């Protein structure tokens, strides 16, 4: 029974790819080949094309979406949503049939990914598990994000509303983004803030999570610097308090080092 279900699922994936393509069998197969290569280029765990085709739910969801989107553009009612819902059932990824997806789209792991109806996704975009491209209410018309080329969206990030993410941008894991993101920038934090601009992109797009700037920590550093300046001015006015202040500062610094690692840049 399980073998039959697997065979049925793979047959449905293959049908989805052909229907979702140009209608030309060779063109559809070539597009599928490019999809597989995109996965192999960006996931070091992918050991073979056979493994990618049979095991990657993000790829299956993309092929199902192509079928659903094609049928929707042809004016076929209801069926595109059925395909979308079946895809969600077997892959854990929900892509509305109305979403527009470019070439080289890669969903890594994929569980919990939701892509809304009016989302527009450029070429060579990579998103990780738990990402949402959603709306912000019951507004009509364009209400979901537009994602530029070569964008990377980290795990659990939420991009909400009719915003635009510029080309080559990176969205850190867990970010909540409700404003436009400039191209060549890195956004982190809820709410998401650009923390790097025009950074040089090298090789295959990725996110180095261990070196993402911490805007909260940077703000705290600014406050600490200003407090030190003010206390130095007070020492000049009231020299008798200098020793007491130095002792308090030393104790505070010790507590911060132990609890937060603040002075070493570990963040708040």
- CB atoms under 10 Å from CB of 235, counted, come to 15
Same domain, 136 and 199: yes
Over the chain, what is the mean pLDDT? Answer: 81
Strand intervals (E) in the chain: 94-95, 100-101, 106-107, 114-115, 120-121, 126-127, 132-134, 146-147, 152-153, 158-160, 164-165, 170-171, 176-177, 185-188, 193-197
Confidence (pLDDT) at 81: 95
Same domain, 205 and 229: no
Confidence (pLDDT) at 8: 44
Q: Which of 11-15, 161-165, 174-178 has the lowest mean pLDDT?
A: 11-15
Distance CA 159, CA 132 (A): 6
Same domain, 103 and 206: yes
Confidence (pLDDT) at 80: 94
* Top-ranked range on mean pLDDT: pick from 6-10, 165-169, 216-220, 258-262: 165-169
* Residues 104-127: tens digit of each pLDDT: 999 998 899 999 999 999 999 999
Same domain, 200 and 156: yes
Q: 211 or 85, which is more confident?
A: 85
Same domain, 154 and 237: no
Confidence (pLDDT) at 254: 78
Same domain, 179 and 106: yes
Same domain, 260 and 220: yes
Distances (CA, A) of 19 to 36, 71, 105, 263: 17, 8, 18, 57
Same domain, 131 and 193: yes
Q: 124 or 12, which is more confident?
A: 124
Domain C-terminal end among 75, 96, 117: 96
Q: Which of 83-92, 186-195, 210-219 has the lowest mean pLDDT?
A: 210-219
Q: 40 or 192, which is more confident?
A: 40
* Band (17; pLDDT cuts 50, 70, 90): very low
* Top-ranked range on mean pLDDT: pick from 42-46, 196-200, 240-244: 42-46
Q: How far out from the chain centre does Cα 236 lie?
A: 51
Same domain, 201 and 106: yes
* Number of domains comprising the chain: 3
Q: 255 or 69, which is more confident?
A: 69
Confidence (pLDDT) at 28: 81
* Residues 199-255: tens digit of each pLDDT: 544 344 555 555 556 667 777 788 878 887 887 788 788 888 778 877 887 887 777
Domain C-terminal end among 96, 127, 155: 96
Same domain, 111 and 203: yes
Confidence (pLDDT) at 113: 95
Return the CATH number at 37. 1.10.3130.10
Return the CATH number at 116. 2.160.10.10
Read off the pLDDT of each residue in 2-24 and give the average, rounded to a whole number: 48
Assign 3-class secondary structure to 156-191.
Answer: CCEEECCCEECCCCEECCCCEECCCECCCEEEECCC
Same domain, 113 and 49: no
Same domain, 125 and 91: no
Question: Residue 246 belongs to what domain range?
Answer: 215-264
* Band (60; pLDDT cuts 50, 70, 90): very high
Q: Which of 18-22, 95-99, 169-173 has the lowest mean pLDDT?
A: 18-22
Length of the chain: 268
Confidence (pLDDT) at 92: 94
Domain C-terminal end among 165, 185, 210: 210
Is the separation of the CB atoms in 111 and 90 below 8 Å?
Answer: no
């Amino acid at each position: 029974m399980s073998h039959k279900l697997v065979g049925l699922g793979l047959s449905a994936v293959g049908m989805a790819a052909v229907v979702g393509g140009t209608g030309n069998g060779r063109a559809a197969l070539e597009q599928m080949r490019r999809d597989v290569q995109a996965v192999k280029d960006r996931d070091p765990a992918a050991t073979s094309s056979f493994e990618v085709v049979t095991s990657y739910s993000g790829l299956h969801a993309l092929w199902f979406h192509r079928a659903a989107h094609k049928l929707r553009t042809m004016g076929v009612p209801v069926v595109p949503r059925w395909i979308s819902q079946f895809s969600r059932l077997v892959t854990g990824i929900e892509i509305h049939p109305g979403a527009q997806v470019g070439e080289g789209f890669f969903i890594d792991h994929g569980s919990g990914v939701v892509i809304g109806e009016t989302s527009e996704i450029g070429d060579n975009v990579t998103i990780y598990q738990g990402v949402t491209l959603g709306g912000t209410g019951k507004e009509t018309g364009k209400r979901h994000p537009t994602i530029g080329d070569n964008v990377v969206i980290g795990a659990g990030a939420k991009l909400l509303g009719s915003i635009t993410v510029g080309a080559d941008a990176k969205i850190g894991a867990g970010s909540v983004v409700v404003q436009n993101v400039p191209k060549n920038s890195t956004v982190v934090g809820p709410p998401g803030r650009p923390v790097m601009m025009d950074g040089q992109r090298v090789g295959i797009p990725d996110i180095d999570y261990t070196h993402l700037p911490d805007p909260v920590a940077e703000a705290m550093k600014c406050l600490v610097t200003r407090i030190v300046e003010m206390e130095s001015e007070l020492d000049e006015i009231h020299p008798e308090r200098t020793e007491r202040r130095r002792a308090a500062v030393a104790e505070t610094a010790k507590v911060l080092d132990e609890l937060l690692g603040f002075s070493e840049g570990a963040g708040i």
